[in-house]
Structure 1
Amino acid sequence: MSVLTDIHCHGGGGHPFGDTVEGTLAAAAAHREAGTHAVVASLVSLPLAEADRQIDVVRRAMEQDPGILGLHLEGPFLAPSRKGAHDADSLAAPTGDAVARLLDATGGALRQITLAPELPGALDAIDTLVAAGVTVAIGHTDAGARVVTEAFDRGATLVTHAFNAMHGISAREIGPVGAALADDRVAIEVIADGTHVDPSLVAALFRAAPGRVVLVTDAMAAAAAADGRYRLGSRDVEVRDGRAVIAGTQTLAGSTLTLRRAIEVCVAAGVPRDEAEAAAGATARAAIGLG
């Protein structure tokens, strides 16, 4: 079994990453108890002051738990039209000053950032982030394959939760996933919970991109916890029968998945177990520059 590593996870055990140090440690422990050896703590788009606070919380938790590998900022550089569960008021353009501010705030703890490459300044931001050693993922985007391919050429090497919050593959526009399938430099995240993506499509993705699929949970606080009401950033979330949505809507708000369950969903869909385990382990670690 690979060292299971979740590079896109917002919390678990009833706790979101970034709220408190104790809660962040408890969330990592909950995933560890469920079989995940290491996590990258993901934060959603937040107002600047709150983002700074939560980044500091995660950095302090990292000092106590080496299984928290760093930060993933899912935003704020996202397309408003593809914001999903993110707060529209917290989105921002990836200006040079904004990128420099985030790099300063994270102090070397930033492992990954998700951005929309069509935003003004995004391609230059990719240059800066890659030079700083950050894995850049394309996601929450309205971009077509041409712009996404340009982002890959500038150094982006990952797609955030394939097929969600982006164009799909169609006859005359193959979208971000199609562009990634055509580019061996790029790894592709997928949430294999049976809700975000049909399991048969997940299995097809494994066949189309061997060795490049990364299983992630995109889990929020309710993972390894009970149904109920939770928070994801500034948004209220309702969890019923393990399905998390923004309160009062049908908009998915992450998942309640664990990596071990994601592996089983893949195996049930026909993915060889060793490939599913690698996607949750060695391939995931390689995607963020870890051996």
Structure 2
Amino acid sequence: MNYRHSFHAGNFADLVKHALVLRLLRARQAKGPVTVFDTHAGAGLYDLTGDGARSKEAEAGVLRLMAADGLPETIAALAAEVRAVNGGASETRLYPGSPLLVARALRKGDAYRGFELNPPVADLLVQALADHPYADGRPGDGYVEALAGVKSGGGSGPLVLIDPPFERPDDYVRAAETAMAVVRADPKATVAVWTPLKDMETFDGFLRRLSGEILVAETRLRPLTNPMKMNGCAMVVLNPPAGADQAAQEICDWVAGTLGDAGARAEVWRL
């Protein structure tokens, strides 16, 4: 399965991922300045009316979010960021990816380093971050570059985001290996890995490559009966901060309960 950021921008999986990333960032900032490394940053900002978002998955994701009332705190925080990026307009035309969401939240002493392997997309990433002095986007293999940044002392206890497009057959393996290498290089690091949920065999194989203190947050919109379809998604967090379990449960419950089919479910557990 190929997961292109632009093609799926603003879908249910983005809501899970970005709402939790915002909460993880806030938790890490409570301890002091933080450096964020993003292995597969994407373009940073997406036009939901453009050709890149022609899948229209945002209609069943962020557009429903922005029309909803009574949002839980973690989901409301993401909605507020989406609204701000759209200038407070009632129409949701733009959707911010992880780079812009993180960049907007950075404080003096914080830093964001995002990497993108696709050169044209890397150019868009640089443009999206141009007005944010503490954020930097650049071309490169994020698996390699993020780990190198952690090893070079890129901030004590960094937050590392691993969100590959799963275009390559080794993405599950490299994501797991990079996550483990990061926590070996800096035991205080928090690593958040996003994966699609197609079938449990693939997902279990990924989890078996991990060890340590690990939080698994699953959101399934439908039963895992069609391995060719993204039936759900998961955020797997190594060294999760205090409060991450409750935040993840709130996020997954809302997305599954609001956007899912009759068989939707949310599970948050420790590996």
Q: TM-score range by the shorter chain?
A: 0.3 to 0.5
TM-score, L = length of structure 1: 0.36
Which structure has greater helix proportion? 2
